[in-house]
Amino acid sequence: KEHRLHVDLYPGDRFFYFTTCGWMMWNWLVSGLASGATLMLYDGSPVYPDENVLFDFAAERGTQIFGTSAKFLDAAAKAGICPRKTHDLRSLRTLLSTGSPLMPESFDFVYGSIKEDICLSSISGGTDIVGCFVGGNPTLPVWRGEIQCRLLGMRVEVRDDEGVVLGPGEKGELTCSNAFPSMPVSFWNDSKGDRYRAAYFEKFPEVWCHGDYVATTQHDGMIVYGRSDATLNPGGVRIGTAEIYRQAEQVNEVVESLAVGQTWEGDVRIVLFVRLREGLTLNESLSEQIRDRIRQNTTPRHVPARVIQVSDIPRTRSGKIVELAVQRIIDGEPARNRDALANPEALDLFVGLSELQR
């Protein structure tokens, strides 16, 4: 269903997704064999010798379906490459992105610098289901900054904390209220099912709660604002971290950012960590530029109380930044599952920061 109908994958298509074997997207890619596709595999860095390397691969092999991450597209845009002018991408008809929310500016980059006549499908689901809840549709328009649609057979709804289904533009929890074939049915060493129910059905009985903070749109698409458990709550107002990243990472000097909420004086304040371009040092002028960008394009509540430079940001092996691990570190608690990280040593950069004490 996902490949044939939502991705527009045909027998004989050359199907590429940049992924490690440890990410669920590897399983998702290999499943393309069931549709008769030819899999395109790439082993190596996606940015060496530069950000053109995956487009070199796609052009040389005549790839029809090209899959990558939102972070890669952002890095390619910041590198200033323009594959539309330098590569023959006539065969390419679908570009897939997942791993984190795809920002509206990345839509601009794809259509302006990669290819004009392409279906850009931001997709979102989970390792738990080895599939998607929302994704692409080759028969629908692509709207800037939006995931096109809810997937067939998935009764995906947005709910508030009381379980009320919300309308377009109202932010809440991504839920699915019907069973589906790839839904896990149990956990190992959980004979009574307590951990299983707590993971998915504790918040809304009999309704799968996936843990993403989202909203539907007037086009019946969806926007993902981040993980629910990483949602910031200054002054009792819920803020998705992606709303902050979108603005902070538009500042030319900022390569990557990570936002967490720090308990402070009886409330929560937002702390934004930034990784800058090589050789740059954060000063008050750049800090204020980042804050101004966030303030002007969101709300005053989104503006971080502290902006702190770090040399690296911890991420999983599939490239997802880990806000919760950093949250635990700055709260003086040990981070869990360090072995699941691609760069666990990066967590040590957040220990005992003096900037967090004032």
Reported as a single tens digit per residue, the pLDDT across 276-322 is 999 999 999 999 999 999 999 999 999 999 999 999 999 988 788 99
For residue 319, what pLDDT is reported? Answer: 82
For the stretch 192-204, pLDDT in tens is 999 999 999 999 9
DSSP reduced 3-state for 148: coil
Decide if domain 156-226 falls under CATH 2.30.38.10: yes
pLDDT in tens, 326-336: 998 998 888 88
Of the listed ranges 113-117, 171-175, 213-217, 314-318, the least confidently predicted one is: 314-318
Binned at pLDDT 50, 70 and 90, residue 338 comes out as confident
Positions of CATH 2.30.38.10 in the chain: 156-226
Tell me the average pLDDT across 255-273: 91
| Residue listed under structure tokens 């074997």 | 21
**Looking at the predicted structure, is the pLDDT value of residue 263 above 90?**
no
User: What CATH number belongs to 2-142?
Assistant: 3.40.50.980
Distance CA 136, CA 134 (A): 7
Can you tell me the distance from the alpha carbon of 245 to that of 243, in angstroms, rounded to the nearest whole number?
Answer: 6
Assign residue 128 a region: left if phi > 0, alpha if psi is -120 to 50, beta otherwise? Answer: alpha
Residues of each domain in the chain carrying CATH 3.40.50.980: 2-142
Which among 351, 339, 340 is positioned nearest to 308, based on CA atoms? 351
Question: How far apart are the C-alpha atoms of 170 and 73, rounded to whole Å?
Answer: 28
- pLDDT at res. 36: 98
* Element holding 77 (H helix, E strand): helix 70-79
CATH fourth-level superfamily of 231-357:
ANL, C-terminal domain (3.30.300.30)
270: β partners = 261
Query: Taking a C-beta distance cutoff of 8 angstroms, is the pair 350, 273 a contact?
Result: yes
Mean pLDDT value across the chain: 94
**CB atoms inside a 10 Å sphere around CB 262:** 18
Position 343 confidence tier, pLDDT thresholds 50, 70, 90: very high
In the prediction, which pLDDT does 100 show? Answer: 87
Full DSSP string of 312-344:
---BBTTS-B-HHHHHHHHTT-PPS-GGGBS-G
How far apart, in Å, are the Cα atoms of 292 and each of 51, 257, 302?
30, 16, 11
